[in-house]
Amino acid sequence: MKLNLIPYQTKMDAGGDGASFDVSASATRTFLCELTVADQIEQESLDVAIYGSTDGQTWTKNPLLKLPQQFYRGKTKLVLDLSLRSEVKFIRARWELHRWGRGAPLPMFVAGLELVEIPPMARGAAPKGTVVTAG
């Protein structure tokens, strides 16, 4: 399962909410989140969080995941684990832009947030990089 909570190269000049996505069919309910900031102007920040819902209409008061505040271009990766939040059926992104300092320009970021479901591990399989020793 791959979700674009904020489509790649989305130009943002004000806070907003992304589209909602149904995650109830997810096998693991665990996602690798990658926020990509492709462009920005100076003296501004971007805050992105992911919220959940049982019905796609009423959203959690607090975010399920808050990504680190961004000031510059680059990529940030975090894991969203919904395995213990079975009531969450829908997720969406919310972002806020902040600008400070001198000058009249409005804040502007070009960014995207992609989630990729982390596949289940096979039972008894050791993760890559795990050292197994004979006893």
129 within domain boundaries: no
Note the pLDDT tens digit of each residue in 57-95: 999 999 999 999 999 999 999 999 999 999 999 999 999
- Residue 95 resides in a domain: yes
Q: Phi/psi at 85 (nearest 5 deg)? A: -120, 65
Structural domains of the chain, count: 1
Give pLDDT, residue 131.
Answer: 62
CA atoms within 13 A on the CB side of 51: 19
Residue 5 has pLDDT above 60, yes or no: yes
Domain that holds residue 57: 2-117
Tell me the whole-structure pTM to 2 decimals. Answer: 0.85
Mean pLDDT over residues 106-118, rounded?
93
Of residues 73 and 134, the one with the higher pLDDT is: 73
CA distance 5 to 19: 7
What CATH number should be reported for the domain holding residue 56? 2.60.120.660
Residues 17, 86 contacting (CB under 8 angstroms): no
Q: What is the DSSP letter of 62?
A: S
